[in-house]
Amino acid sequence: MPLYSLLRPAAFALDAETAHRATIRALALAPRRALPSFAPSLSQHVAGLRFPSPVGLAAGFDKDGEVPDAMLDMGFGFVEVGTLTPRPQPGNPKPRLFRLVEDRAVINRMGFNNGGQQAALERLQRRERRGILGVNIGANKDSGDRIADYVAGLKAMGPVADYLTVNISSPNTPGLRTLQAGGELVELLSAVGGARTPGVPVFLKVAPDLDTGDHDRIVRAAIDGGIDALIVANTTIGRPPLQSRHAKEAGGLSGRPLKPLALDQLKLFRAATGGQLPLIAAGGIETVDDAWERIRAGASLIQLYSAMVYEGPGLARRIANGLAERLGLEGVSSMSDVIG
C-alpha cells in the first residue's frame, strides 16, 4: 500500500490550505537525494531543453520556490514554481482552497498569494542547479501596469530559471485574463520579447475558457512574439455537474472534471499550431491513460497538480514508469514518435 494512502486521512482532517502548508514544510526538511533516473525513451527535447521525463509539476503547488528539489527527488521530470509577482501579496481572503472529494477535484481562489520575486530569487540562488526548473510569473493584483510587472518578472527570475512561464490565465486576479485578448496579447508578447534572458525559453499559459477563433489568434500572437511553448490549460471558471458541497464556491476548478475540457482545448491548439509550437498539457491528468491520451493529442510534456491531492506525489513516478512501459508494448523507442 502506498505510504500516501496511509497519510491521506490525517491530511484530509485538516482544511485544504493548512494541509498544503504542512506538506510544504515537511518537504522542506526532506534530505536531498540523487535525481531519479528515467527510461531513455521518455527523454524529450522542448525549446532547447532536455526533459528526462515528460511528467512535470504544475505551478501552484510550490508558489514560493521552497521545495523544487524535493519534488524533483519525488520523480518529476521538471518542476514549475510560482506564480510569483514582483511584490509580495497575501492573496484573497480565506477560505480559498477547497477539496471536492466526491469529484476528485479542487477549487481555488488563492489570488497569487506569494512572498514576492525577490524573496524567491534569493532562495533559488542558494540551490544547486539540478533538474529542470521553471518559474511562473504573474502581475500584482493592484498593479497599475501589468505588462510592466511581467517584464520585471522576466528580468528578475531569468537568472535562476531554465524556462519562464507567463501566466495570463488565472481566473483569480480580476481582469488578468483580458491579457489574452488580441491587442493586449500582442502588446504583452512584444514587451516579453524585449525583456527575455538570453537562452531562457518563455512559455505562455492559457485558460481553457476560450471562444471560437481564440486559438488561432493566440497561436499567431505567440509565434510572432517568439513564445517557445504553450501550456494548455489553467483552471476553468466553468462548472460541469459536480457532487461536492463545495461545487458553488467561486474560483478556478481543477482535477478530474476539467479533463474533457482541457483535452478538447489541447486538440484545438494542436490544430491551430499545426505542430509548429510545442504544447504542454495540464488539467485533469491523473492516470497513465490520461497522460498517453494527451501526448497522442499533441502534448510534448504534461503537468500534474490536483491529482496529487488524492494520489500523493508518487503519482509522477508511477505515470512516468507507465508511459515507459506503454512505449515498450507499442514497440516505440521514443516518446517523440507518439506526439500528435
* 62 in a known ligand binding site: yes
Partners of residue 31 on adjacent β-strands: none
CA 121 to chain centre: 19
- Other CB atoms within 10 Å distance of the CB of residue 125: 9
For residue 2, the model assigns a pLDDT of 61
The tens place of each residue's pLDDT in the chain, 340 residues long, gives 466 767 788 888 889 999 999 999 999 998 988 899 999 999 999 999 999 999 999 999 999 999 999 999 999 999 999 999 999 999 999 999 999 999 999 999 999 999 999 999 999 999 999 999 999 999 999 999 999 999 999 999 999 999 999 998 887 777 777 777 667 899 999 999 999 999 999 999 999 988 888 899 999 999 999 999 999 999 999 999 999 999 999 999 999 999 999 999 999 999 999 999 999 999 999 999 999 999 999 999 999 999 999 998 899 999 999 999 999 999 999 999 999 8
CATH number, domain containing residue 239: 3.20.20.70
* 91 in a known ligand binding site: no
* 167 in a known ligand binding site: yes
pLDDT tens per residue, range 273-295 = 999 999 999 999 999 999 999 99
Structural domain harbouring 291: 3-337
For residue 309, the model assigns a pLDDT of 93
Contact partners, residue 189, CB within 8 Å, separation at least 6: 204, 221, 222, 224, 225, 226, 227
Which three cell numbers mark 253? Answer: 476548478
Find the helix or strand (DSSP H, E) in which 220 lies: helix 214-224
* 233 in a known ligand binding site: yes
Q: Which of 53, 170, 254, 300 is catalytic?
A: 170
* Residue indicated by cell numbers 509577482: 85
Angle at 49 between CA 215 and CA 80, to 5 degrees: 70
For residue 1, the model assigns a pLDDT of 43
Number of domains in the chain: 1
Determine contact, residues 267/119, Cβ cutoff 8 Å: no
pLDDT tens per residue, range 74-126 = 999 999 999 999 999 999 999 999 999 999 999 999 999 999 999 999 999 99
Rg from Cα positions in the chain: 18
Whole-number Å distance between alpha carbons of 317 and 323: 10
Question: Omega into 95 within 30° of 0, i.e. cis?
Answer: yes
What CA dihedral angle connects 282, 305, 314 and 165, to 10 degrees? 70
Whole-number Å distance between alpha carbons of 27 and 294: 29
Does residue 143 carry a catalytic annotation? no
208 DSSP assignment: S
* 109 in a known ligand binding site: yes
